[in-house]
Structures are given as C-alpha cells and as structure tokens.
Structure 1
Amino acid sequence: MDRLVATDFALLAGQRVGVIANPTSVDHRMRHLVDLMHVGGRVSIAAVFGPEHGFRGSAQAGFSEGPQADARTGLTVYDAYTASEADWARMFAESGTQTVVFDIQDVGARFYTYIWTLYDSMCAAAGLGLRYVVLDRPNPLGGNAFGPVLQRQFGSFVGRREIAQQHGMTVGELARFYNARFLSTPVELEVVPCAGWRREALPDLPWVMPSPNMPTMQTALVYPGTGMFEGTMLSEGRGTTRPFELIGAPGLDHRWADRLNARNLPGVVFREAYFRPTFQKFADELCAGAEVRVLDVSTFDSIGTAVAMLVEASRYEAFRWREDGWIDKLTGSSRLRTMVDQGADLPEIAATWRVELAEFDDQRRPYLLYR
C-alpha cells in the first residue's frame, strides 16, 4: 500500500475502483487506504466491499456489518462476507467496478476467511473481464508451509481449495497461485509486492487487529494449530484477553498441561491456566486448561503442537468434537478426527500429510515473490 500511495495511485488512474478492505488496510502512518483514496477524489471509488467482521471491523466472528453507507466517506459499502462468485459478480456489475483492489492483512492459516474472499472475488472478476490488483503484505508467520492439504470434497468458506493448513504465502502469492492453478479463466492480475521482506524472517509488523479475536502477532503464531479447537466442545479462549492461547473447559485439570510439558515439544511450554470466558463457549463458567507459551519461533510448530494438545485432551470425558463436523472443514478431511478417536499419536498423524505437503510446496514455488 505504501508503494502505491507514493505514486499517488498512478496504477488506478482512469478506472472505477472497487476496494476490498478492512481495518488492516493502513499505511505506515495508520492512514486507511479508502480514506486516502477518497480525499480530494484522488481515485474514482465505485464501492467498498467488507469481508467477515466488516469494512471498519465492528462485527464479531461469523458476522459482518451489513450493507451500508460508510459514515466517514459516504461511500457505498457492500456486505461481502460469504459472498459466492455469483454474488461478487452482481456487486461488481451493480457498482460499475472496473478494477478491483484487494488490501487485507492475512494471518497465514487456511481457515482464516479473507483468503477465500480473495479467491471468490477473483473468480467473479475473471468472469466479468475486470482487472484485479493485490496490494501485498508480509505473512506474519513467515514463508514456510506446514500441515495437511485440504481435500476438495471438504471445501467450505474456511477452505475452498487445496492448500496447506499453514500455507506460508502472502496474499499476493496466493493470488498468483489461485490464478494459475484454480481459476478456469485467469483474471488480469497485478500484484504490488512488498519491498525488503524475506520469507524466512518473521516480519515486525505494525499490528492492526485483522479480527476481534486476533489481538497480537503472538495470537497469529499459534492460530493455525489452536484454531482447530473451534471444532471441539472445548473453549478456544474466545471471550478472554488471550484467544487461541488459552484453551480449556470445565472438565479439564492441571494434568493436561503437565502431560503436554512432559512431551518436550519444540519451542513451546504450557502453563496451567484457569479462565472464565465472557462469551461463546462456557460463558461465565470456570474453565481449567493450558496457556500456550511460545519460547522459540524458529522451532515452534503450531499445528503439531495443537495435534498433541488434541490427543492429550481426548483422554478426558469432557472432550468432544462439535457435532456439525466443523473439525473436518478446518483440517480439510476427516483424517485427523478419525485418527485421534482411534488413539493415534502426533508422529503417526503428522506422517499422513508429509507427502501432500511436499507436493504443495513444489506446486507453489513458481508463484512465490519473495526468496
């Protein structure tokens, strides 16, 4: 975004622009992209499209702000959360959009929905012959991929297509990957890359919460793994000040953290923890569990850590999967759920995705922008 602003938006001159943005769409001085475009009519903005949590970020998980006129700019804001390709095509046509601009900070996990907002809107733009511009941002988890690859029959809005659970790509790289491998008709795509980012380095980002339950980069670091607890009846820490770092339930006890620490998992320790969520699972009830504390980001494996947590949690009567099969959507298959239920442990479970992860790593390599 800073690079585009420095050119006074030259890339968008003469176009009616539809902007897909949220509160993270800011420059180094925390000025919002849409506000800068709007001032003095520097860009002809056709409309703004708000993803999950909304354009200005006022909605909780699983919700959006709804269609409205933006209070600050007066611009039309469409509700794009869970929009299908057909919905996107209708909104683009209705608004008169000629060029789509996507600028949202991702957190690096397949089940974080903004990358599927990217995918669906790209498909619609390709069908209408629109231009698509991605303003890239670093992946806060770095550039390495981890975990299972989604099986297509388990596709949903928390995972449309076959990518790894921790994909290790920026949104610009994902857009290039989608365009080449998944879109039947490629879109006219341009990615404005970041300057100076190396994919092996965790970036020091001026963090803006991309969603209400992603308060810090530490949250993002554990999320590709502990986000799987959304598929269980244990609390994933929503309703606390440490979502996805605090995991627990009324039926757990101190032995869970003890067993996890006895495993000596790389780069992490577990603190015996007690908390009362203010909303969602076990609201106002005392939960016992563990706080995930990352000690060494270079060796920490979020997904492997969370699999070990699930295995140890399954020893308790309080442990249950959600009845709607949400864990299968999050992990991209029924494999993890089935193997945990059968008593498999971390090494056996992780071995099942080793080959598919290596294949994904090879597939994505031509579309990487940062070395």
Structure 2
Amino acid sequence: MRFNIFKNTFLLFVIVMISCAYKTKNEIITKNEPHYSIKNVEKDSSIAVGANQTENYLPLLEKKRVGIVANQTSVIFKKSLTGKNDFTHLVDSLLALNIDIKKVFSPEHGFRGRVDAGELVKDGIDTKTNLPLISLYGKNKKPTKAQLEGLDVVIFDIQDVGVRFYTYISTLHYIMEACAEQNIPVLILDRPNPNGHYIDGPTLKIENKSFLGMHPIPLVHGMTIGEYAQMINGEKWLKNGSQCKITVIPVKHYTHDRFYSLPIRPSPNLPNDQSIKLYPSLGLFEGTNINAGRGTEFQFQRFGAPFLNKDVFNFNYTPVSNFGAKYPKHKNTMCYGKDLKDEELNGVMTLKWVIEAYQNSTDTSKFFNTNNFTKHAGTDKLQQQIEAGLSEETIKATWKKDLDAFKLIRKKYLLYD
C-alpha cells in the first residue's frame, strides 16, 4: 500500500516537473509515429499547453471515472535526459498515474489520426491500452446517453487549426451538448491556434448549418478551443439553449498575435506550417472538383485539375493513393495548376486561387460541387459571386459587416490578448 502511494506520488512529481520544464526550442523526436514527426519550434519555446499543466487538473480527476476526447495531438511534452524534447500521449500519462480512464472518444481521422478525411471512423479497442474506442465520426457524431453512462467527467484535448470547416469544433459542440444533457462536466485542455492571429472569410448563414460548420462564425474565427467552448455556452448554441459545465486549462504565455508552429501534424493532410497557413484559402477547393494536393506530399500547398487551362498553368502533378488520401480527386491523372509551397501568406485568407482556377477552367460546368461548396463557404452567395466574375476585393467588402459584428461577440470570450 505504501509502495503504491509512493509510486503514484513519484509519477505525479515527474510529470509536474516535465510540465514546468516544457520547451520546444530544441529538436524534438518521436517514437513509433512515422507519419507524425515533431519538428523544431523556435518561435514558441515558452508556451505550455493545457495538457502540460498537470498540477492544475489532476486534482479534478481524482476518484473520477474519466472519458477522453483525443487524437494523436493529445500529448504532454517533456524534456529527456539527453536535452531533446519528446512527448507522451495524455492517455498513457493519466493511466500511469492511476487515473480511472473508462473510454476514449475519437473524432474525424480517428484516435491515432490515420483515417482519411470524410472516411467513417469505427468503434473498437485501442491495442496499446485496451481501452474502448467510441467513434464520433461514424454512426453518430454526438455521444449517446449510453456511451456517456458511468462517466463523471469528460476531457477534451485536441489540436485545432482555427478554420470553421475543420470538424473538431463541431465535435466539441456535440460533446458539450451531450454532456450538458447528462450533467457531466467537460475539462478542456487548451492549445494554441496556429491561425489565431486573424479573422477572415464569409460568415456562415444558419440555413447552411452542417458538420462542416454549425455556428454563425467566419471561416477563420481566431479562437482557441477553450475560447470557442466559452462562446458556444455564452451564445447558447447548444440544443434548447442549454449550457455545459466547462473548466478550461489555458495555455501559458500564449497571445493571439504570437506565431505558433504545430509540433505534431493535426490531421493526415496538414503536414506542415505552410499547409496550415494555406488551408483556409485552399480548403474551399474541397467544395469543387479541383484537387488541393491530396494524393501528394504537398497537401494544401498546390492545386490542379485535368480541366484547368494548361496554357495558363504550367505546373503539373499526378495525385496517387497515399497516406491520408486513398482516393484523391483525379487519382492517377495529370493535373494542371499551381505550386504554392513557397507562397508567402500570413494573416489573411484569399480567394485569388479559387477565382483564378474558375476563370481558367476549360469547362466551368465541372468546377463547383454546389452543395459541398456552400457547406464549406457557409453561404451560397460566394459561388454566385465567383460565377458572376466579381473581384476578390469586391467580394471581401461584402463580408465586412458580419466580420465586425463577430469581432464584438468574440471579444467577450477571449482568454488571451
């Protein structure tokens, strides 16, 4: 008995010391995660994510039956004896501390983050921990009463990228709604938003609500998961205006105007900083018949299609089946388009590439997948504006009123400067 108490106390001490010492200035290495290599992050060395602050949330988990919404980004960073940085998964760390984890809920792309975009995630058992895995991207996107039964608290710890159609914030909504209905508190371990330094894009019109966008917010919302959870509650966006009891563990030393490079790939097709910066702009191609780099090693860093004018676009590539894209658009077919891997774009989303591609299609009837494009844009007006030949400047001017209104609402829920 005394040994167990000593063991648990020692483990707690080790993880707390790891949390306090966390820095990402040096080269970081991974173990057994070939697709999710961690890289050097020089511009955010003092940032400590919520998960690293174990001293602030372990007391909230003692003697509780815990569920966790997590994926490959749900890690505690640590410094090894060699001076290099490493990490442990949050689930593994909590189990080592004898926290009573009952089940793991997995979002789009799955618990280990290897499932293609849009592909259903199956229930199962995690082979490493033997914990039951409950999919929130399969038969149901909202946890059922039965799936939440026996839990005292649910942890939400997933890295977001701050774009409305990136589905983790929709998963957050459904977790909060289901937990509010069952009177289960949600503990949110916050992480920085790599696109958190600006707000841009069309605002979703509620008649276009889908899992690709559930709330009347701009395409780029400029909030962390913790801030966004507060907005969901405060604006009473949950069913019947209910509110979920949430506790947010904020990120230390983070501000919205500070650059943050993601240490771990947040999903299969966002491999690096460039793809994450371009994602708000190139993500609109998901609602068209244009390939946005899926099926290559430069996802969301290029675009192309067989029907784009090759006299205008002299760059070409051929998408193939690969990790994260078994069936990319125009698989095994030569695509003409543009290489954007060296494009400088920061603090803004642009329509110039969508407009350029549309205007230089040899057959514009093939361009839009109307229903899907409207879900991504959040409004049917954007497609109409592009088809009418309006300039980017003219289109963006129509967003200003909604963006200004959103900024006032957002201000009420910010946790960081």
TM norm structure 2: 0.80
Aligned to 1:126: 180
Aligned to 2:18: none
In the alignment, is residue 201 of structure 1 matched against residue 245 of structure 2? no
Report the secondary structure of 1:20's partner residue.
strand
1:12 to 58, 61, 72: 61
Q: How does 1:181-220 map to 2 (within 5 A)?
A: 181=235, 182-183=237-238, 184-206=241-263, 208-220=264-276
Aligned-partner residue type, residue 355 of structure 1: K
Q: How does 1:41-190 map to 2 (within 5 A)?
A: 41=98, 43-81=99-137, 87-93=143-149, 96-181=150-235, 182-183=237-238, 184-190=241-247
In the alignment, is residue 248 of structure 1 matched against residue 304 of structure 2? yes
Aligned-partner residue type, residue 228 of structure 2: L
Residue 164 of structure 1 deviates from its aligned partner by 1.0
In the alignment, is residue 367 of structure 1 matched against residue 413 of structure 2? yes
2:76 to 19, 22, 27: 27
1:292 to 327, 330, 340: 340
Rounded to whole Å, the distance in 1 between the matches of 2:312 and 2:94 is 51
Rounded to whole Å, the distance in 1 between the matches of 2:352 and 2:138 is 32
Larger of the two Rg values belongs to structure: 2
Report the secondary structure of 2:227's partner residue.
helix
- Answer yes or no: is the 8 Å Cα contact 2:159–2:191 preserved in 1: yes
1:310 to 348, 354, 361: 354
Tell me: CA distance 1:23–1:116, structure 2 relative to 1, closer, same or farther (3 Å).
same
- Answer yes or no: is the 8 Å Cα contact 2:319–2:331 preserved in 1: yes
Residue 8 of structure 1 deviates from its aligned partner by 7.5
Q: How does 1:200-349 map to 2 (within 5 A)?
A: 200-206=257-263, 208-253=264-309, 256=312, 272-279=314-321, 280-293=328-341, 296-298=344-346, 300-302=347-349, 304=350, 307-315=351-359, 316-319=361-364, 320-323=366-369, 325-349=371-395
Report the secondary structure of 2:53's partner residue.
helix
Rounded to whole Å, the distance in 2 between the matches of 1:84 and 1:248 is 34
Fraction of identical pairs, as percent: 34
RMSD of the alignment, in Å? 1.9
Report the secondary structure of 1:325's partner residue.
helix
Tell me: CA distance 1:278–1:345, structure 2 relative to 1, closer, same or farther (3 Å).
same
Report the secondary structure of 2:154's partner residue.
strand
Report the secondary structure of 1:328's partner residue.
helix
Rounded to whole Å, the distance in 1 between the matches of 2:74 and 2:181 is 26
Summarize deviations over 1:173-198 as a string: whole Å, max 9, x none: 00000011013111111100000011
Aligned-partner residue type, residue 81 of structure 1: Y
Aligned to 1:264: none
Aligned-partner residue type, residue 14 of structure 1: K
Residue 89 of structure 1 deviates from its aligned partner by 3.4
Aligned-partner residue type, residue 49 of structure 1: F
Aligned-partner residue type, residue 215 of structure 1: P
